[in-house]
Chains A and B, each alone.
Chain A
Amino acid sequence: MSFQILINGISTGTVYALIAIGFALVFNILKFSNFSYGATMTASAFIAYFLVASKGWGLVPTLICSALAGALISLIGEFVGFRRILKNHSPSTYFFVSSITLGSLYEGLVTLKAGTNFYVYPNFFETPTIQLFQTVISKENIIMLVISVAALLALAFVIQKTSIGRAIRAVSFDRDTAQLMGINATLIIQAVFIISGIFGGLAGCFLGIKYTLTATMGSLVVKGFIASVIGGLGSLTGAVIGAMLLGIMEAIFLSTMGSGWATIASFAVMLVFLLIRPQGIAGSNVQEKA
């Protein structure tokens, strides 16, 4: 395994980690799988494309715009799709349907605006690659790696060290008790959706840079789901580990089998994982509470 593949794998893995984390945050707090997440990524990447990148404003404004758009979409989604269901104490199936519907709504809106065309982010660098230890590494990969790692570290700091992080952990553990302790659960859920949206926006922008922008780009969210299953559903550390593993595995598959088979192989890996170790690497076993 060459150094090149490893670097590519790690940089893909960090993007998957962003997806998996955004997904796992919402899963932790509301105990359901947020399927609108993929479409949130697509929509924010497109907003960033039309508002910023097409005007030639460079990488950093594009990323910021995408992250903000993701946060906004996610917040609106929480208000439109989940607030009332949460208040009515509806069964968890309604969260599923609501998230699927939101996803299909976002994707429909993007398709209305963009059609089925391909869009490509402009080249953000004059020389797209650099030479390092006899391997060619694209600058985009390095930027992705740096920004993703920074975002993950920032999140870890927020979750572990700040009071809002403590509140998020409390609400994920037991919403009712946390509310009795004086935590405003609605506010915390909103905060979680905003964080998840920021991660989704960043991931969407990166995916758009790495591949092309299409209205169906959101299906790449599958990688994030696979990563969180491998790592352990609902565990943040597990999601990062799973995403890294998946990224490196995929880079290896990609160089040995080609892109089509790589998708199928990573799906097979997920099935095998569910057979052998369904609780994932981190071993967090999310059971239905009685």
Chain B
Amino acid sequence: MNLFLYVLTQVCITLVSVCGIYILTGLTGMFSLGSAAFMAIGAYVSGLLVLNTGMNMYLAFLLAIAFAVCVGYVIGFPVVRLRRDYISLVTLGFGESIAQLILLLSQYTGGAFGLIGIPRRVNVWIALIIAILVIILTALFKCSKYGRQCIAIKSDELAAKAMGINTSRVKMIAFLLSCAMTALAGCLSAFNIGYVGPTDFGWKKSADWVIMVFFGGVNSLTGSIFGGAFLTFLPQYMQALNKYRAVVYAVLVLFILNFKPKGVFGEWELTPKNMRRALMRFNRKQRKVKER
């Protein structure tokens, strides 16, 4: 049971960041290989604020998210006007720079030893509630005007521009929202584990999130959440698999990309209407079986 609660907390934290990646990659079609760096910013800023000033944890979360969004604005400003490739290149460079910066500012961040002694105040329930709130927010964003504009940009940026969508503004909004969510995930993780290390935030982590989103289905929020949850649960329960985690992930996704490019869920969403439809189809099948 203890293990289950621990894993559930990890899953919730991962889902918060996967939601951010879903908005960025799934909806808008941009790839960030520096999302983990925003997670690092969230974790370090909130941890340092609470350790040094003793302020309320939630206030520290908000300040950390605000800080991450400001940094995201500086990074995003030059690149949202350009081709979408640039954002991946720039965020990759940004991730490497943040890792260096953490090591350089060692008198504040603890350098290679990491930040120790953060109060472990985030338990599984707080993580669960925040994850659910973030998922609802993401679903609302997808249904909103901005969500639809993001989807338009993803399919064809030029056409979206021609239809009067301010593409650079919408891309910026998606990018900042994604920064905020990954930073929140960083805050949660810092206050759950009680420790932040500088090595946990490489491009591999960002790549893992992208892989999770694509595993479940890049066009479907349900699929992304399923992918995030499944791929976090799986290695925790198969310790033997943990060593091969990266390889297994990669092979799974290569198979999906080659043979079922829309992901496990495709574009299917878990809405009441779709559930009813699936139920009806199921009933019909049952009836046919009985008639036979």
B202, CB-defined interface residue at 8 Å = yes
Which residue of chain B has the shortest Cβ distance to A33 in the bound complex? B85
B residues 19-34 in Cβ contact with A at 8 Å:
25, 29, 31, 33
A115 to chain B, nearest CB (A): 10
Say whether chain B's binding surface is mostly helix, strand, loop, or mixed: helix
Residues of chain A within 8 A of B243, CB atoms compared: 112
Contact with A along B246-259 (1 / 0, CB 8 A): 11011101100110
B110, CB-defined interface residue at 8 Å = no
Q: Are A290 and B104 in contact (CB under 8 A)?
A: no
Residues of chain A within 8 A of B94, CB atoms compared: 267
A residues 79-95 in Cβ contact with B at 8 Å:
80-81, 84-85, 88, 90-91, 93-94
Q: Are A97 and B250 in contact (CB under 8 A)?
A: no
Contact with B along A106-139 (1 / 0, CB 8 A): 0111011000000000000000000000000000
Q: Are A80 and B254 in contact (CB under 8 A)?
A: yes
B residues 58-79 in Cβ contact with A at 8 Å:
74-75, 77-79
Residues of chain A within 8 A of B218, CB atoms compared: 93, 97
Q: Are B85 and A233 in contact (CB under 8 A)?
A: yes
- Give bound CA distance, A219 to B100, whole Å: 12
Q: Are A274 and B250 in contact (CB under 8 A)?
A: no
Known contacts A97-B257, A263-B96; A108/B210 CB under 8 A = no
A270, CB-defined interface residue at 8 Å = yes
Of A80, A84, A216, the contact of B202 (CB 8 Å cutoff): A216
Known contacts A105-B254, A267-B97; A225/B92 CB under 8 A = yes
Q: Are B93 and A225 in contact (CB under 8 A)?
A: yes
Max chain B CB contacts within 10 Å: which of A104, A225, A263, A270?
A104
B280, CB-defined interface residue at 8 Å = no
Q: Are A104 and B93 in contact (CB under 8 A)?
A: no
Which residue of chain A has the shortest Cβ distance to B213 in the bound complex? A97
Q: Are B204 and A104 in contact (CB under 8 A)?
A: yes
Known contacts A216-B202, A274-B90; A104/B251 CB under 8 A = no
Which residue of chain A has the shortest Cβ distance to B78 in the bound complex? A274
B134, CB-defined interface residue at 8 Å = no
A-B contacts, 24 listed (Cβ < 8 Å): A33-B85, A35-B92, A93-B29, A101-B249, A101-B250, A102-B254, A103-B207, A104-B211, A108-B244, A109-B247, A216-B202, A219-B96, A225-B89, A229-B86, A233-B86, A261-B104, A263-B96, A263-B100, A264-B97, A264-B100, A267-B94, A267-B97, A271-B78, A274-B90
Chain A residues packing against B (C-beta within 8 Å): 27, 32-33, 35, 80-81, 84-85, 88, 90-91, 93-94, 96-98, 100-105, 107-109, 111-112, 216, 219, 222, 225-226, 229, 233, 260-261, 263-264, 267, 270-271, 274-275, 278, 286-288, 290
